[in-house]
Each structure stands twice: as C-alpha cells, then as structure tokens.
Amino acid sequence: MSYEQSDTLTGIRDRVHAAELISRGLRIAAVRNILPGVYRCELSRLWREIHPLSSTPSGRLPNGSASVIRTHLHSAIASAMLVEYIRASSERAGCVDVTALCVAWDTLLGSAEWSEELADFVDINVIWLLARDYHAKLVRLAECPRCRSRRLFCTQWDARSKLMKCPHCALAST
C-alpha cells in the first residue's frame, strides 16, 4: 500500500478530509478505511487535537449494517440516512464519498432532536457503515409498494426477519 506524502495535493486533501470526519466523531478505524493513505498515528494525533477531552474510541467496529439495525425505528432512521447520503454523493463515487458522508450527517444532526435512546444509533459511524455496505452491495434501497417511501434492505437479513417489513408501514401500524 502506498502512502501519500503529506505535502502532495492528494496528501493535503486526505488530511483535510480526515479532520472533517474526525471532527464529526468518525472513528479512526473507519477514517482509515476511507483514507488508507493517512497513517493511524497521524489520525490519533488529529483526534487528540480536535477532541482534547475525549479519548480515542476503542473496541472493534461493528461487522456490518445488519448487526446494528435491530428495530423498525432503527430501520426507518437508517433508510433516511442512506437516502441523504445517496442524494449528496457524486454519481461516479464507487467508494465512500467523504463530502456526502459529512453532508448526510450534518443534515440529520440539524433535522431533529434525537432522544437519548437513539443517540447511539444516530451517529456518523452508522452512516459510514451504511455507505460502505451500500457500495459493497450489501445494503440497497427500494420503494415500498404500499406507502411509496424508500426503505433499506440488508442482503444479510433472513427472509423471515421482522425487519424485512417496510419500517414506515410497520411503525404506522403500531
């Protein structure tokens, strides 16, 4: 793997992107997944500069979108996250688009007051996971034939999972 020199244009752009992502709370392992040309030690230093009062998050990243979406409400919010991400991303992006990730996060953050219960789920790390899995074709959007809203599917869901049902229809009927 080649590492971009920090004084080349690509190297500078990567570091600006890294700072934008870290300031929004994206974990270092996820930033490395998007920007493999930036060293982990540089990202740790950036994290300490940007978040002097919080230690760098540790522990493994979730395996995939299917492991974090557990309820119809999660599924509805994840659908909205992915819709925002795709709306903001450039057509040719074959991998996670940094700008679209930031736009989707800023839009969601400003769009509602999230309850404490959902605070862990409404997180830029979840949008990153959805975007990564979307580009890997593990997650897709489809229109619900009943309510016409766009909803998300994880290919790893079991066909019998309650999450196969449209979350908007499911929430409307409870």
| Crossing angle of helices 98-111 and 124-135, rounded to 10° | 140
Site for Zn ion in 87-146 (CB under 5 A): 144, 146
SS percent in the chain: helix, strand, coil, step 5: 55, 5, 40
102/166 with CB nearer Zn ion: 166
Q: Of 29-37, 56-64, 86-94, 165-173, which part binds Zn ion (CB under 5 A)?
A: 165-173
Q: What's the CA gap between 28 and 48, in Å, rounded?
A: 11
16/172 with CB nearer Zn ion: 172
Residue by residue, DSSP assigns 14-33 as HHHHHHHHHHTT--HHHHHH
Task: State in angstroms the smallest separation of the CB of 71 from Zn ion.
Answer: 16
Q: Which of 147, 155, 158, 161 binds Zn ion (CB under 5 A)?
A: 147
When asked if residue 19 is in the footprint of Zn ion (CB under 5 A), the reply is no
Q: Of 52-60, 95-103, 123-131, 147-155, which part binds Zn ion (CB under 5 A)?
A: 147-155
When asked if residue 72 is in the footprint of Zn ion (CB under 5 A), the reply is no
Q: What angle do CA 58, 64, 65 make, to 5 degrees?
A: 115
